[in-house]
């Protein structure tokens, strides 16, 4: 069965449950996704729905499997709830983005509760940056370079760290880097002085 991010069309434009900045961001992401560029960044002010926009982005890209990287456990848990069909906070239901299943299948990488088969079955994998660090990383070892076709980084200043995590593991394995994955950073504060 193809990924719901490919097979389904989300209700975004004109959806009164989705904030105007989220609708505009989705439109901009969709436009970007149709181009050949690999990396994008999106800035939404605090409180304008960055997490919801992250849940919409895989539809804009038509992603088969997306990795979402959060800066910490608390934000990762929030993002998991936004993707999780069992959660009352699931963004797709709460905001009437999708009218019933099939839903994208989420899995969270944290601790030892998930395994490789969970990753294989998932359409979206959510984790925090700390779970991806180290050359002996159990999550990245053995994954082919094209395992994820989209990588979304919440708080985009972590993007370089995410790329380094993948490259460190894949360089040790003799595999190529992230050449096939598209990347999008989402930030609320693009610069700090």
Domain range summary for the chain, segments of one domain joined by +: 18-187
- In angstroms, the CA 69 to CA 129 distance is 6
pLDDT score of 193: 46
pLDDT score of 41: 80
Higher-confidence residue: 193 or 61?
A: 61
Whether 65 and 148 have beta carbons less than 8 Å apart is answered as yes
Whether 94 and 124 have beta carbons less than 8 Å apart is answered as no
Helical packing angle, 50-61 and 20-33, nearest 10°: 30
CA-based nearest residue to 151, from 67, 82, 76:
67
Total-model pTM: 0.86
Report whether the peptide linkage leading into residue 102 is cis, meaning its omega lies within 30 degrees of zero. yes
What architecture is the 18-187 domain classified under in CATH? Answer: 3-Layer(aba) Sandwich (3.40)
What residues contact residue 162 under an 8 Å CB cut-off, 6+ apart?
A: 69, 129, 132, 151, 153
Report pLDDT digits (tens) over 87-140: 999 999 999 999 999 999 999 988 777 788 888 999 999 988 777 766 555 666
Phi and psi (nearest 5°) for 4?
Answer: -60, -25
Phi and psi (nearest 5°) for 12?
Answer: -120, -60
């Amino acid at each position: 069965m193809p990924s719901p991010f490919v097979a389904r069309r989300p209700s975004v434009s004109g959806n009164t449950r989705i904030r105007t900045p989220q609708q505009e961001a989705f439109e901009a992401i969709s436009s970007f996704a149709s181009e050949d560029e690999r990396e994008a960044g999106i800035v939404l002010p605090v409180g304008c729905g960055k997490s919801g926009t992250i849940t919409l982005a895989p539809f804009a890209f038509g992603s088969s499997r997306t990795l979402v990287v959060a800066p910490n456990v608390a934000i990762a848990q929030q993002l998991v709830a936004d993707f999780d069909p069992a959660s009352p906070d699931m963004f797709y239901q709460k905001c009437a983005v999708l009218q019933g299943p099939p839903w994208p299948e989420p899995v969270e990488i944290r601790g030892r509760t998930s395994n490789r088969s969970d990753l294989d079955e998932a359409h979206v994998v959510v984790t925090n940056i700390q779970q991806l660090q180290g050359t002996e990383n159990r999550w990245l070892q053995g994954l082919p370079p094209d395992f994820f076709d989209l990588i979304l980084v919440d708080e985009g200043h972590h993007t370089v760290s995410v790329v380094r995590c993948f490259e460190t593991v894949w360089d040790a394995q003799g595999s190529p880097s992230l050449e096939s994955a598209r990347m999008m950073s989402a930030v609320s504060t693009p610069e700090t002085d």
